Chains A and B, each alone.
Chain A
């Protein structure tokens, strides 16, 4: 029996080694690595959104030259992100762009990093930290834009439910507040001084009622069953709003299985293919895109300028607003082909 086992193990090892060998033969390209700035791009999780950002990073890396980028996707939230950043520091990195999982809680740690390397934030800011600049979207404004999409989708008003991965993230809270404020016709708030509403509360406006906000902690089956349960609980649900990229597709799946396609409208954030297809087919109304490739591209570009000694890229308010794009049936084709083009461009690296 032991013999058999040794044989199986050896065979497995051989297969694995062969696999590794194949992979490494086409990866490396030796060049003048010493002259290049080493830059790290750290996300806050795994998502197709980050894949597109990564595409932008790769594009900037090859177009701008003089930089060598590594991209990290922390899989387990805060602790994982921290340990990745720590090991990057240990390895030695010239510049880092990070999307902090918990902006306020991480301030001290981010300052530690900022004292040792050029640190910028992207996608989500840590305003209290000493990061050099924040590259992103004004998520409150983007949330209000999403609210306007909901108003277009259900002009007569109705019940709206919000779905999101987690609300610990500042950008998630800002988006949610933007949607609520817009639907309740409240005056606009300034980013950085926003008053956030409670989670477990129903907001009733003149026309629109926000009945619920459900979180799923990035677990796909929870995202789907949250949407299913909302359909069960709120018989008159008129619109589902997904704040993270994977939320709208899960809402659409649930709506489809309930036989309510078109009856319950969907508005979302980001540019998941399933959502874009639904916008094209008329099953979803629209989405707000931050054009993620810009995030990746601009992060590398700004870090490179700073490392080259050019600090003029940093505006006085330390915020580079990349804006957002409203995508509906009107401009879906144009937007989708741009997305595909960017994704392909980013992949073309070697």
Chain B
């Protein structure tokens, strides 16, 4: 396991234990089902943005892409388009969005922050305009409904929901890509030192574009999952600020905003920590008004602790090296 992941895992265990101690219902099947479901939804977004962050970039448009995909899905259902075809087209659209971001960043050489910030505004506006800013509710569309928001009963009241299975597939592919393929190694190298990577013959532009495509594609997948989970889409609000949760999950999970570092498992646990905090706030009975402050504080605390531990370890190691030399 990645060293960075141990910190976040301990944080998870700590909050988990505290909540369990405060309310024994916390571990019942129904609550665990919900916790796994929401954590999976957040983790999928987090993994997406992790790829971009590893290259040293950022994607602020995730929430708006989620909103756009969800709005278009609701529109398509309203106009009775073929649902399966719509889903395929929407995933295609999110890939095109990622491709545009990647091309603008690598070929036109614009800052990722600017490109994706404009994306954030542009897609949100398009969603509102296309839907006339109306809240859309969609009735059940049989097969797809159970595909995107179905549940598989494991034991008692504990069930695994569709987002979890999506996450498993996404996580395995992502972890394999990042750790076991040459492309993954290149990606990390590119994040560490872009010029160095390019001079050693790595096609950095292609890799960067791929990272943005992965990110937007996973945002598109999340959009479908969120829409089916809530059965209701609000063009101006669905997905709003989700990019910040995704980025928080990625950073908390061990990705450095300076690039070159990343661990898929860490991102998943970090997403779970963010959802666990919300769950915990409700179950312990803290005022919902404090929710954001608590999430902010815990993330800050987690990242600080992680940094300090890393420093101590580094110091010790350098001491060991110097003593072994002498």
Contact = CB atoms under 8 A, between A and B. Distances in A.
A273 B226 contact: no
A199 B226 contact: no
Contact of B133 (A46, A220, A225, A259): A46
Given A232-B28, A232-B31, A274-B137, A225 B38 contact: yes
A215 B289 contact: yes
Contacts of A73: 133, 236
Contact of A48 (B30, B38, B135, B288): B135
Contacts of B283: 229, 232-233
A233 B285 contact: yes
A23 to B, nearest CB: 9
A220 B288 contact: no
Contacts of A233: 23, 25, 282-283, 285
Interface of A: 1-2, 5, 8, 46-48, 51, 73, 75, 199-200, 212, 214-216, 218-222, 224-226, 228-233, 235, 246, 249-250, 253, 257-259, 273-274
B135 A46 contact: yes
28 contacts: A5-B108, A8-B103, A46-B135, A46-B234, A73-B133, A75-B236, A75-B237, A212-B285, A218-B237, A220-B232, A220-B234, A221-B226, A221-B229, A221-B230, A225-B279, A226-B282, A229-B31, A229-B279, A229-B282, A230-B282, A232-B31, A232-B34, A233-B25, A253-B230, A257-B33, A258-B30, A273-B137, A274-B137
B203 to A, nearest CB: 12
B287 A199 contact: yes
A47 B232 CA distance: 11
A313 B269 CA distance: 61
Given A46-B133, A47-B135, 9 more contacts: A1-B107, A46-B236, A51-B135, A219-B237, A219-B240, A220-B234, A232-B283, A250-B230, A259-B157
Interface string B149-172: 001000001000000000000000
Contacts of B288: 214-216, 226
B231 interface: yes
A199 B28 CA distance: 27
B265 interface: no
Given A200-B287, A220-B238, A5 B31 contact: no
B31 A221 contact: no
A222 B238 CA distance: 11
A200 B279 CA distance: 17
Contacts of B30: 228, 231-232, 257-258
Contacts of B133: 46, 73
Interface residues of B, number: 40
B232 A225 contact: no
Contacts of B278: 222, 225
B129 to A, nearest CB: 9
B100 interface: yes
B277 to A, nearest CB: 12
Nearest to A277: B139
For B41, B103, B135, the residue with the greatest tally of chain A CB atoms inside 10 Å of its CB is B135
A127 to B, nearest CB: 24
Contacts of A258: 30, 157
Contact of A51 (B34, B134, B279): B134
A250 B231 CA distance: 9
Contacts of A232: 23, 25-26, 28, 30-31, 34, 283
A45 to B, nearest CB: 9
A222 B42 CA distance: 13
Contacts of B33: 257
B156 to A, nearest CB: 11
B30 to A, nearest CB: 5
Nearest to B124: A75
Nearest to B161: A257
A228 B31 contact: yes
A203 to B, nearest CB: 14
Nearest to A211: B285
A160 to B, nearest CB: 16
Nearest to B286: A200
Contacts of B107: 1-2, 5
Interface in B227-247: 229-232, 234, 236-238, 240
B155 to A, nearest CB: 15
Contacts of B279: 225, 229
Contacts of A274: 137, 231
A244 to B, nearest CB: 12
B245 to A, nearest CB: 10
Contacts of B41: 221
A273 B25 CA distance: 32
A263 B34 CA distance: 20
B135 A225 contact: no
Nearest to B128: A75
Contacts of A231: 30
